[in-house]
Amino acid sequence: MALGKYSRVDGRKSSNYCSTVAIVMFVGICLVGVWVLMSSSVVPVQNSDLSSQESKTKVPQEVTENHSKQFEDSSGDLPEDAIKEDSIPENSQDESNSEVRQNQKESENTPEEVQEKFVEDNPEGKTESDGKKEDGESNSGDRDSNSEGGDASTEAGETNPSEQPESEDSPSENEPKSDEGKKKSDTEGSVEETMQEDKVDLHTEEKVEEVQDKDSKESSGENKTEDQAKDQVFPAGAQSEILTETSTQNGAWSTQATESKNEKESQKSSSSGDQNGYNWKVCNVTAGSDYIPCLDNAQAIRKLTSRSHFEHRERHCPDEAPTCLVPLPKGYRRSIKWPKSREQIWYYNVPHTKLAEVKGHQNWVKVSGDYLTFPGGGTQFKNGALHYIDSIQKSLPDIAWGKRSRVILDVGCGVASFGGYLFERDVLTMSFAPKDEHEAQVQFALERGIPGISAVMGTQRLPFPSNVFDIVHCARCRVPWHVEGGKLLLELNRLLRPGGYFVWSATPVYRKVPEDVGIWNAMSELTRSMCWDLVVIEEDKLNEVGAAIYRKPTTNLCYEKRPQNEPQLCKESDDADAAWKVPLQACMHKVPVDASERGSHWPEQWPLRLEQPPYWLKSSQVGVYGKEAPKDFSSDYEHWKRVVSMSYLNGLGISWSSVRNVMDMRAVYGGFAAALKDLKVWVMNVVPINSPDTLPIIYERGLFGIYHDWCESFSTYPRSYDLLHADHLFSDLKKRCKLVAVIAEVDRILRPEGKLIVRDNVATIAEVENMVKSLQWKIQLTYSKDNEGLLCVKKTLWRPTEAETIMSAIE
């Protein structure tokens, strides 16, 4: 029949046709099953917009434990958002996302998360849910703050889990959801995978519980620490506990919403720099990026009637302290670390070549590509400073570098290689030279990591107390010591400790030309009349130079026996320690001889002198903090050792290997500097002129410092210091001068990426924080307790675009 090929008697289609349909249906079902299987195996990232304190508490726990060892400055338990210098390897992001997914799946089992998930899946309740989430953030913060006495906050960390992008496996918002029937049909096919996920959930819950138990123990420990630290001005123990917390449960940390809001506001103001009402501008001055307001006051210098005594190199501060920002040199780079910096620095950081041209043959400095190199030479030690240093001690063993002789003054220091190499002998050198035709010599020193200030021996006393330097050194320092009754040498006599040495390395000592012979004869007569003993004339055959070494007397007998009272003795009413803008006088102060007077005995050898209260501190004296002076000294030292060891070294996100030049802007007993003695840093201790005069105590400890008025600019070049420390300084300065000008000065002397640590009352901390934020500085950490606060910030490379012309600084 003709129908056999196309139909069957029973009315059904052919077997080939049915087979084709069956195959198509089977493939379709398989594809649907695979799609359902893939979508059901992904744990969706829920509550992605949730920024409550509770969700932030759980996620960072795992991330911190996994990556804490990667922080350079961390002891292993710092919260990552308290660190700014550190970075996480690239694979940490994937690990963080994995932890996020695990913790979010675990969080579905909690009532709070179930409530929030329900609201997310029901848009009708969206408004109400948002309000509840904000309340949850606030309540969480309140709960956390109850576990600690203080409040701390930091900027968002670089690896904040809540900011991580979603995993590539996460479903998009536009992906269609599978219906309930399809999920049921595929349940049996994914039983094994579901069991595996349940294991992950259980493992995550166990890890969270372990971390929470650990946090509970740490919380109890930090409460004990707070009780033990009640007598401190700022409870360093309690502070350090907060800073080393591994979980955010025990601190009133800011929420992601707050951090994001602050960052948006900061970015909006980054172009104009006028945040919080501060409109910063760049200084338009003749000195450019080397501007020192009190040394570059061209207007005041033009009015001088005489320059014969280097009056034009002295301080002449403008009537109103500038509030502009000094520009950066073009091509500026982060300074090279010590000790490599002693031998070479970046050329573009101090782009001056004149000194290399004039003094290159004496091995001061040379230009080498992108670097300025320092062979370690000088006018008197062109073959190296170390040989010269050892030659001095060989000629006079009593010098005893680093033991008896600890604090040195180097006059006319050049690029300060003498002081730079004395660090190897455990000696601290205060080097100074004027800002003169030897352009940038002190700036070279500071960029190398060697202490120095811009100053000149002119018409005023140097800003140091009397009887504090163990040795004063002058190597071809170009100072006419013998003229005008020896007025300048008498200033050194004021500064030199009784029994201390003056090392004079100059051509009159070893050359016999008429001019040098005349100077030598005049110096010999002057030093005899000052009762200085010529101990030895040292010969350095390698460098072909010589040095005369004099010793200051320890009694007044020689003064009384002099046939003529020349130079005359100063009046009894003359205060030898008065040194701030005091005119020089051609007179000598008597040597202290009473056993209880400062200067009557040589200090203990270093390092014993650092820790012991000076012998001349009496129990009948009241110290700065109200205790008996010796106890006040010891308590201050113990306080700063606790603060530095428990907080500063590991709690502020500071990479101390990158810190070399440090300034304590309000030093009292030098306790902060003493606590840093084991680090490769040096500290300029500044005693403000309106603070108790404790600078002699600092020198007695084998440290050094200077007097200064912070309503004026400091005598240093811009970008001199890696770290500035201000302990209750700014609240006092607000009473006398404009704080905005002080912060502009802080910006001037601090290097880009340098740190500022401020300890002060809460109101002042808030004011300073607003100012540095307007400067686009990064907030490392803020902390407050009992109206006392701590702020740590990092300077950035930001400079404003507008300029302000300072007429007094235009030549």
Sheet of strand 496-505: strand arrangement: 453-454, 428-433, 407-411, 469-475, 496-505, 545-551, 533-540
- Amino acid letter for position 516: D
CA 539 – CA 523 distance, rounded (Å): 18
Residues 6+ apart with CB under 8 A from 395: 536, 538, 539, 547, 549
Banded model confidence at residue 228, pLDDT cuts 50, 70, 90: very low
> What's the pLDDT tens digit per position in 400-457?
999 999 999 999 988 899 999 999 999 999 999 999 877 789 999 999 999 999 999 9
pLDDT for residue 43? 40
Banded model confidence at residue 130, pLDDT cuts 50, 70, 90: very low
pLDDT for residue 540? 84
CA 324 – CA 748 distance, rounded (Å): 9
Contact of 697 with 666, CB cutoff 8 Å: no
Comparing CA positions, the residue from 581, 341, 385 lying closest to residue 473 is 385
Contact of 489 with 434, CB cutoff 8 Å: no
Tally of CB atoms within 10 A around 394: 11
The neighbouring-strand residues paired with 494 are none
CA 719 – CA 451 distance, rounded (Å): 13
For residue 784, what is the enclosing H or E element?
strand 778-785
pTM attached to this predicted model? 0.71
- Span 592-611, average pLDDT: 96
CA 25 – CA 44 distance, rounded (Å): 30
pLDDT at 136 over 90: no
502 φ, ψ to 5°?
-110, 115
> What's the pLDDT tens digit per position in 708-740?
999 999 999 999 999 999 999 999 999 999 999
Contact of 772 with 73, CB cutoff 8 Å: no
> What's the pLDDT tens digit per position in 21-46?
677 777 777 777 766 666 544 443 33
pLDDT at 368 over 50: yes
Residue 517 three-state SS? helix
Contact of 635 with 629, CB cutoff 8 Å: no
Residue 288 DSSP label: G
Comparing CA positions, the residue from 79, 56, 59 lying closest to residue 68 is 79
Give all domains of the chain, ordered by start, each with its CATH number.
53-235+246-257 (no CATH), 270-327+608-809 (3.40.50.150), 377-448+468-588 (3.40.50.150)
